Amino acid sequence: MSVKETISVEGYAFTGGLMGRKYVKAAKNAEAVELLQKQGLIIIGLTNTPEMAMWWDSSNPVYGRTLNPYDLSRIPGGSSGGEAATLAAAASVIGIGSDIAGSIRIPANFCGVFGHKPTPFIVPTLGTYPSVSGDREKLLGLGPITRYACDIIPLLKIMAGPKADRLKLDETPDLSKLKVYYIEDIGDPLAKKCNSDILAGIRDAIEHLTKKYKVVAEKITFEEFRYGFLLWAAEANTEPNSPSIAIQIKDGRSGELNPYVEFFKKLCNNSEHNMSSILSTILEKFTPLYGTRGNKMLTSRATELRKKFNELLGDNGILFVPSHPEPAPKHFTTLMKVFNVSYTSVTTVLQGPITQCPLGMSKEGLPFGVQILARPYNDRLTIAVALELEKAFGGWLAPCRVDV
């Protein structure tokens, strides 16, 4: 198996894509890695990420740029982009990534594989870089990235350790009792509207379920989805003294990064950071930080949204949301499309399990998929639906001929 480089594997590189950590090796395994190795899984290598795992592409000054195996001129997504590209190219059998705003789901979507973000606090997150603590842990998830849906549950059982029983993964959901809801447009004015190929694919998936299992599907909207990125940003800043990106990116060195100075240094080709990292540091200065009136208002709306979501879905409900509004974009275009991550950041706020499931290929020959959501601890239901859709639509499709 392969592992995202920001998840520590004893003796392996643990740079987080930062030049200042270029020679850092992990002193010990992340808890999830320890659980996997105890069950005999063999790690064949680590995979690429953006700096500090905080962008939706996978390029950094230490290792360079990861390419999408379906079109080398396009991004694989991020921040688990190296992992998704490796799985899609059949260079690894199974893998694990981390996800705090879409970092498993976006690359799995762009690379046509499965990715699962578990219910929060089920899989241990200790041993990631940058480290996450306190309330931010409710947003972070370590989970499987696989070519085949049948590999998700075995991996998840191991990674969850003693908490796996809470998910009842050995129970098989009855899909004839399924309640299906779907959202086609999140309504965020800063995010792109969903591509017609993706909408058609989601409608085909819904039609398959309604015909085969005689269930009813309902199109819905949540008003709060309009502010998805802001809701996520507020939820990530609900505690005092949370370290800023400007401090974390210095990795223990004194002071903090001045993103405005760094921006001009980058224009002069004299910065050791990616432009995306610099932009993220600037954007953070305009987010609703802990204790502000805006933060309190947004976290209150997020709480209301979770309550509505859980009451609507109940024990047998799923919600389809596009994983991204378009297939993988070209390299060097993500800075202008940053708010497209709202499709995954807002679903993170719901704090339930989410499975990214491939649905097919666009007219351009690029993979696309859908997020399958359920209420907390109902991971088995989203995975069961992914298994069903894999049978119906083919799941992973090789980016080229595979001659063995």
Convert the pLDDT of each residue in 69-80 to its tens digit.
999 999 999 999
Q: What is the pTM of this model?
A: 0.95
Answer yes or no: are the C-beta atoms of 108 and 403 closer than 8 Å: no
Q: Which pLDDT does position 56 carry in this prediction?
A: 96
Q: Which pLDDT does position 285 carry in this prediction?
A: 79
Q: Which pLDDT does position 252 carry in this prediction?
A: 62
Q: Which pLDDT does position 221 carry in this prediction?
A: 97
Q: Which pLDDT does position 325 carry in this prediction?
A: 98
Answer yes or no: are the C-beta atoms of 362 and 368 closer than 8 Å: yes
For the chain, the residue count is 404
Convert the pLDDT of each residue in 288-305 to its tens digit.
667 788 889 999 999 999
Q: Which pLDDT does position 241 carry in this prediction?
A: 67
Q: Is 300 a catalytic residue?
A: no
Cα(323)–Cα(151) distance, integer angstroms: 20
Q: Which pLDDT does position 292 carry in this prediction?
A: 82
- The H or E element spanning position 360 is strand 354-361
Q: Which pLDDT does position 255 carry in this prediction?
A: 75
Q: Which of 2, 4, 266, 280 does the annotation list as catalytic?
A: 4
Cα(384)–Cα(205) distance, integer angstroms: 14
Q: Which pLDDT does position 203 carry in this prediction?
A: 98
CATH topology of domain 2-242+290-393: Amidase signature (AS) enzymes (3.90.1300)
Q: Is 103 a catalytic residue?
A: yes
H and E: helices and strands count for the chain: 12, 12
Chain center to CA of 395? 18
Q: Which of 8, 58, 79, 271 does the annotation list as catalytic?
A: 79
Q: Which residues of the chain have pLDDT under 70?
A: 240-242, 252, 254, 288-289, 403-404
Q: Which of 98, 103, 276, 362 does the annotation list as catalytic?
A: 103
Question: Per-domain residue ranges for the chain?
Answer: 2-242+290-393
Cα(385)–Cα(206) distance, integer angstroms: 11
Q: Is 4 a catalytic residue?
A: yes
Cα(265)–Cα(253) distance, integer angstroms: 19
